[in-house]
Amino acid sequence: MEIIFATHNKNKLKEVQIMMPENIKLLSLDDIGMHEDIPETSTTISGNAAQKVQFIRQRYDLPVFADDTGLEVFALNNEPGVYSARYAGEHKSSEDNMKLLLKNLEDKRDRSARFVTVFALDMDRCQTLFEGVCDGVITKSYQGDKGFGYDPIFMPNGYEKTFAQMSLVEKGEISHRGIALKKLIAYLT
């Protein structure tokens, strides 16, 4: 089965491909020549995932799935949430986002947070959502050099290392994206 994973993010693509069964071939947006900006104007994580899937499905007649992820920090009223990728501004980097988050947490004792991922899947013009959540804490400094996004400052509950210190396989077993993806794969197989 061929299915489009609506992403240009090579790190995310790699993370998802590792978990996919061999009989499912992923096509990235680059693979299908899709270079338009996909709107993400919803105020919810699930809304953005659904919006991406709709956008791609209107242009290509293949099954498609997309995700949206947000980091919710409880002491910051669940910021950055749906704005996680552009927390420090529209044209800022992951580094800028992490610096701003750590700055905003400087005087906070509660550093608990959670990652939320929602995958939206469109098969035969029918849309289904799959959610994954991973609870943890925001560290006070960067730890590790693997992963992407907020991985160097997010330590999942029950672990003594951040996502950026874990292998892709280890992270995939416990991460928000891994949990949601397992649900999507179970639905497909």
Query: Where are the extended beta strands (E) located within the chain?
Result: 2-5, 25-27, 64-73, 79-81, 112-123, 126-138, 154-156
* pLDDT value, residue 124: 84
- Encode pLDDT of 52-61 as tens digits: 999 999 998 8
Dihedral, 47, 49, 53, 54 alpha carbons, nearest 10: 10
Domains and CATH numbers, the chain: 2-188 (3.90.950.10)
* pLDDT value, residue 64: 95
For the chain (189 residues), the mean pLDDT of every run of 10, in chain order, is 89 85 91 89 94 92 93 97 90 91 96 97 92 97 91 96 93 92 93
* pLDDT value, residue 50: 95
* pLDDT value, residue 172: 86
Global confidence as pTM: 0.89
Rounded to whole angstroms, the maximal C-alpha distance in the chain is: 51
* pLDDT value, residue 76: 97
Active site residues: 68
